[in-house]
Amino acid sequence: MTATRTIARGLLLLALCAPALAAAEGGKEAKAKKPRLAILDFPAASGAWSCSGWSNNEGRMSSVLRELFTTEISERSHGKLRLVERARLADIRSELKFQQSGEVDPASIQQAGKLLGARYVLTGKITRFACKISNTSSGWGIGALVGKVTGSGLAGAVAGSANLKHVNFSGRLDARLIEVETGEILVTFKDENETGDTSAKVAGGGSEVQYDDELASKVFEPMVQKMAAKVVKKTVQASEDEDD
């Protein structure tokens, strides 16, 4: 009798768990059907990074752009896309020896997509990052006036060497969404933006504008936000068209 009751309870438990198990399996299948997108680095095209003194940061900005695109696309897709993990991207990038600057071979991009199990690949380049610097100095006249008013030659010298530096940054991004199986470029995106920053340099003791991720990101973030929305829309649409 005890054995019969145990079996009955087991069957009842299975019956109760069956819908949950079926739902879990269905959820896994639905997730597996969602298109997978790989976002590669965005290197600077040859000669595109022309801001004096900032050239050593091309590679850094390339990686930052990939992270910005990953965050924006993840948030905007609302679960309709699967993104390839960062660690997996690093492995593939190392394996295929992607370079941080110049052209990336289309065949390598397609191969990377297949190795990553991605249906689509987003890649692109920084095609322009430049800065224009303008200076405004107080000059000898201001220094002489300050010296006369204060009676201090040192104060006059300091005021006379004051320098205001304004830097205008401009950038452009070009991106491509590629269907891995065929190597076809489904759509291209491009955008450009500019921003500025000002710093004061007084008597040679102040600070000039130095490289700053935040400043560079101010140029590229608005572009990434607009392009990410288009990438999500096109990727989801292309996937639905292929599945029909």
DSSP 77: H
What confidence category does residue 99 fall into, taking pLDDT thresholds of 50, 70 and 90?
very low
Between 102 and 114, name the one with better pLDDT: 114
Highest mean pLDDT among 57-71, 149-163, 180-194: 180-194
Q: Could you tell me the residue ranges of all domains in the chain?
A: 33-131+170-192+215-243
Between 49 and 75, name the one with better pLDDT: 75
What kind of architecture, by CATH, is found in domain 33-131+170-192+215-243? 3-Layer(aba) Sandwich (3.40)
Would you tell me how many other CB atoms lie within 10 Å of the CB of residue 211? 14
3 state SS of 45: coil
d(CA 138, CA 37): 54
The predicted-structure confidence for 131-164, as pLDDT tens digits, reads as follows 887 765 555 444 454 445 455 554 444 444 555 5
Give Cβ neighbours of residue 77 (< 8 Å, ≥ 6 apart). 232, 235, 236
Beta strands in the chain (DSSP E): 36-39, 82-83, 120-137, 163-179, 184-201
- Stated pTM of the model: 0.69
